[in-house]
Structure 1
Amino acid sequence: MDIYKQAYEENIRFERAVLYKFKPIKIPIPFWDSTGGPFDKVPLDAWLELYDENGICGQAPCSENMKDIIPLIMTGETKTYEQWYQKVYWAIRNNGFSGEAAVEVGRFDLALHDIMAKRKGLPLHKFLGAKRDWVNVYASGCGTHLTGQQMVTEVQQFIKEGYTTFKMKVATDFGADLDRDIERIRIVRELIGPQGKLAIDANQLWNAKEAYEFARRVENYNIAWLEEPVHSYDFEELEKLTEISPIPIAMGESPRCGKVMYAYIKAGVKQLQPIPSNLSGVRDWMLVKNQARKYNLELTSGGFSHITASFIATADEEDMVEYLVPLMRTFYDIMELRPEEKDGKFYLPSEPGICVSPDFKLLKKMGCIEAIEFF
């Protein structure tokens, strides 16, 4: 019996839980994309510590909504992983499987996997079957708010840090100045040279016709992929676009359920982008990874980039973690345990469990811990 299957069948009893609530953790410069902003803080509201009967601690980023899940598991009962997961998963059924309740189930599931990996003495990526301890990463940034010189400085720093694939935001101010966007693309292409890979992200702004017209205007800049050009659930427009676009289309950040991803495959996307911490379970992400392999599609994943690295390590070497540096570098800075950022890669630590853990002493010193609740 393999380790993963064996862990799923072992019993777990939860003895206690600790929920840390954070004050806003500000980032140095607010970030804007085409349809949102300002994003001025790390997207981290709370942190869960979940202890089993042996004192092994499972951790995960979460929200205060985790307080709806904790009473379901702090019952003194002993169950297998599958029994616990199914109990929590179906308890949120009437909230739907595409909202924040589903996300919170996924984060509970991450804490469960942290416990199981630690029980086996394995880092999470090895527990999930990874054969390597590193992942390729692409630098994401170039927010629409930046001046030309600010954008140049940011890209030059990305290059200095060893990144060779880059993603930038386009469709500034809801597409109000496309000429400016095209000039920004030209500048970045010139900075990274012909060998650098460049992707662009429109954050779901357009319909198929509008996206196609923009793609035609920028295709000569050798764009690796056009991300979220249409609404994430407008599959009719998406299918129209994939049939005519001169640039490969990438989708998949918005779903909270892995089962939705097949609709993107049928619609003709060339890259899937599941976010582990936004799906309703670890196996949802693994399902999408396997779909990407089956249909020979590219695979990238963002979100909490340094946690995502454990998942991408189980995929193909060419698959990448998205590192939204303006937001997630501060997340990296407040972690005590974390992957090493080096030469455009993340190198995963060998400690058992998930590869990040907050530096609570630093967070306390920064005045970022608002409350701690014990269950």
Structure 2
Amino acid sequence: MYPIDVNSKFQFTKAVYYNFNPIPVKKPWRDATGGFGNYAPLQGWVDIYDSEGYCGGTFCSSGIIQNILPLILTGETKTYQEWYDYIYWKMRNFGFQSGQIVDLGQLDLIMLEIMAKRENKPLHRFLGAEKDWAAAYKGGGSLLSDDEDLTADMVRYVEEGYRTIKFKVGSDWGKNMERDARRMEKIRAAVGNHIEIAVDANQVWNVEDALKFAEMIRPYHPAWYEEPVHSHDMNAIKELKSRVNMMVGYGESMRNGFAFETYAEKGVDHLMPLVGRMSKMSDLIKIRDLAREKGLRFSSGGTVWINAAFGTLYNENEMLENHEPMTEPIGECLSVKPEEKNGRLYLPDIPGSPVRLDIKKLEKEGVLESVKYFTGASVKQQFAVRAAY
């Protein structure tokens, strides 16, 4: 756990929500599940202010307007812990894997940023980091790319300084294993034996097919085999691990730390939470510590520019995923972000989060669809009207 004062008090006074038009990726992109197509999975950004004028902001879904703002823009003063617990239990009937519980995770991040700004510290230093960089690996590898384009991207990642790279498998909805194995062979030949190559199947196979593909790529020494079977089928994961003799990674579909305890019990070797889907930021540290305790590998995915603040709390071998097809267009929405250099992200020395939204650029390029302002009175009126209908 990082060293924060859970009794810090908050009275939230207003919020500003920036809604985005679809943001195109550099080229159409797809994994084994069909996502995410021609556009980055990015809906909007919210800034939330406290009564002292401090602000925290993050990328988010529009759900935060419906699920969080009516609960916090009430004029009440609560501690960090009281706000979190209050909303957590308000969200429980949606389920602890829901979008609503993820919205709470975004509020948690915002409260942490506000506390950091109150002390005029970068978020990572406020959380106890002793360094200003985070180690990373680079992923991409669309199934829409031909072999040559895919291999060229992987070689470029290595030339940029990354020692671990990852690409997508599961061609033709998992039916074309020969293509995926051939691509692994070509990438290994192109980057050499000193580079780690991971593959991500996005849960496309059953146990028998996952085992078959594992044998096809074994000669090329995969660093890990990510989500080959359904992420919630714990018995299938256990069976796979009992038979595969290969490092298997899971975690980006889970919303809280409890699930990772089950993953560890089922034999998962690599715990992989995703920062934008967690219901509480401190769970990242709990999962990291669980991995250390069990001798497992740990990494963290999500929007790497924000995730970098937490990556400073990890060691050299506990990496962030820099998923280029997503992070590149998101990075272009920012006026300030960590510097990507030689397999690391170096954080700026600014109070709060390591990113700043480039509103002027978004307006100029037509990305910013609308801006909505919320106070306690406006939220109350909006949701009263909605309830009447």
1:214 alignment counterpart:
213
Instruction: Indicate conservation of the 8 Å contact 2:2/2:282, yes or no.
Output: no
- Looking at structure 2, the residues matched to 108 and 22 of structure 1 have their Cα atoms a distance apart, in angstroms, of 19
Instruction: Indicate conservation of the 8 Å contact 1:215/1:246, yes or no.
Output: no
Query: What are the equivalent positions in structure 2 for 1:357-368 lying under 5 Å apart?
Result: 357-368=356-367
DSSP 3-state at the match of 1:362: helix
Post-superposition Cα deviations, 1:16-70, rounded to whole Å, max 9, x if no partner, equal 1111111111111011111223522222101110111111111111111111210
Residue 22 of structure 2 aligns with an amino acid whose one-letter code is P
Please list every run of 5 or more consecutive structure 1 residues that lacks an aligned counterpart in the other structure: none
2:290 alignment counterpart:
291
Query: What are the equivalent positions in structure 2 for 1:303-342 lying under 5 Å apart?
Result: 303-342=302-341
- Looking at structure 2, the residues matched to 183 and 57 of structure 1 have their Cα atoms a distance apart, in angstroms, of 50
Residue 58 of structure 2 aligns with an amino acid whose one-letter code is A
DSSP 3-state at the match of 1:19: strand
- How far residue 4 of structure 1 moved from its aligned partner, in angstroms, is 3.3
1:45 alignment counterpart:
43
2:112 alignment counterpart:
113
Query: What are the equivalent positions in structure 2 for 1:218-367 lying under 5 Å apart?
Result: 218-367=217-366
- How far residue 3 of structure 1 moved from its aligned partner, in angstroms, is 9.0
Residue 78 of structure 2 aligns with an amino acid whose one-letter code is K
Query: What are the equivalent positions in structure 2 for 1:21-100 lying under 5 Å apart?
Result: 21-68=19-66, 69-100=68-99
Residue 226 of structure 1 aligns with an amino acid whose one-letter code is Y
- Looking at structure 1, the residues matched to 292 and 304 of structure 2 have their Cα atoms a distance apart, in angstroms, of 21
Instruction: Indicate conservation of the 8 Å contact 2:135/2:315, yes or no.
Output: no
User: Which consecutive segments of 4 or more residues in structure 1 shift more than 6 A?
Assistant: none
DSSP 3-state at the match of 1:223: coil
- How far residue 204 of structure 1 moved from its aligned partner, in angstroms, is 0.5
Residue 142 of structure 1 aligns with an amino acid whose one-letter code is G
Residue 32 of structure 1 aligns with an amino acid whose one-letter code is R
DSSP 3-state at the match of 2:105: helix
Using the size of structure 1 for normalisation, the TM-score is 0.97
- How far residue 241 of structure 1 moved from its aligned partner, in angstroms, is 0.8
Instruction: Indicate conservation of the 8 Å contact 1:306/1:339, yes or no.
Output: yes
Residue 73 of structure 2 aligns with an amino acid whose one-letter code is M
- Looking at structure 1, the residues matched to 201 and 165 of structure 2 have their Cα atoms a distance apart, in angstroms, of 15
- Looking at structure 2, the residues matched to 339 and 174 of structure 1 have their Cα atoms a distance apart, in angstroms, of 35
DSSP 3-state at the match of 2:329: helix
- Looking at structure 2, the residues matched to 64 and 235 of structure 1 have their Cα atoms a distance apart, in angstroms, of 32
1:12 alignment counterpart:
10
- Looking at structure 1, the residues matched to 262 and 371 of structure 2 have their Cα atoms a distance apart, in angstroms, of 41
Post-superposition Cα deviations, 1:42-100, rounded to whole Å, max 9, x if no partner, equal 22101110111111111111111111210110111111101111111111111011011
Post-superposition Cα deviations, 1:298-348, rounded to whole Å, max 9, x if no partner, equal 111111011111112112221111111012111112211200011111001
- Alignment length, in residue pairs? 373
- Looking at structure 2, the residues matched to 156 and 40 of structure 1 have their Cα atoms a distance apart, in angstroms, of 24
Instruction: Indicate conservation of the 8 Å contact 2:9/2:79, yes or no.
Output: yes
- Looking at structure 2, the residues matched to 234 and 194 of structure 1 have their Cα atoms a distance apart, in angstroms, of 33
Instruction: Indicate conservation of the 8 Å contact 2:4/2:127, yes or no.
Output: no
- Looking at structure 2, the residues matched to 87 and 48 of structure 1 have their Cα atoms a distance apart, in angstroms, of 21
1:145 alignment counterpart:
144
Post-superposition Cα deviations, 1:231-271, rounded to whole Å, max 9, x if no partner, equal 00000010011112131000011011221111100000110
Post-superposition Cα deviations, 1:340-366, rounded to whole Å, max 9, x if no partner, equal 011111001111111112111110011
- How far residue 147 of structure 1 moved from its aligned partner, in angstroms, is 0.9
- Looking at structure 2, the residues matched to 183 and 3 of structure 1 have their Cα atoms a distance apart, in angstroms, of 44
- Looking at structure 2, the residues matched to 371 and 38 of structure 1 have their Cα atoms a distance apart, in angstroms, of 23
- Looking at structure 2, the residues matched to 102 and 223 of structure 1 have their Cα atoms a distance apart, in angstroms, of 34
Residue 11 of structure 1 aligns with an amino acid whose one-letter code is K
2:380 alignment counterpart:
none
Instruction: Indicate conservation of the 8 Å contact 2:134/2:319, yes or no.
Output: yes
- How far residue 125 of structure 1 moved from its aligned partner, in angstroms, is 1.4
DSSP 3-state at the match of 1:5: coil
- Looking at structure 1, the residues matched to 35 and 231 of structure 2 have their Cα atoms a distance apart, in angstroms, of 18
- Looking at structure 1, the residues matched to 245 and 93 of structure 2 have their Cα atoms a distance apart, in angstroms, of 41
- How far residue 132 of structure 1 moved from its aligned partner, in angstroms, is 1.1
- Looking at structure 2, the residues matched to 66 and 272 of structure 1 have their Cα atoms a distance apart, in angstroms, of 27
Query: What are the equivalent positions in structure 2 for 1:197-212 lying under 5 Å apart?
Result: 197-212=196-211
Residue 18 of structure 1 aligns with an amino acid whose one-letter code is V
DSSP 3-state at the match of 1:331: helix
Instruction: Indicate conservation of the 8 Å contact 1:26/1:40, yes or no.
Output: yes
- How far residue 5 of structure 1 moved from its aligned partner, in angstroms, is 3.4
Using the size of structure 2 for normalisation, the TM-score is 0.93
- Looking at structure 1, the residues matched to 204 and 2 of structure 2 have their Cα atoms a distance apart, in angstroms, of 44
Identity between Structure 1 and Structure 2 (%): 37
- Looking at structure 1, the residues matched to 117 and 196 of structure 2 have their Cα atoms a distance apart, in angstroms, of 37
Residue 211 of structure 2 aligns with an amino acid whose one-letter code is Y
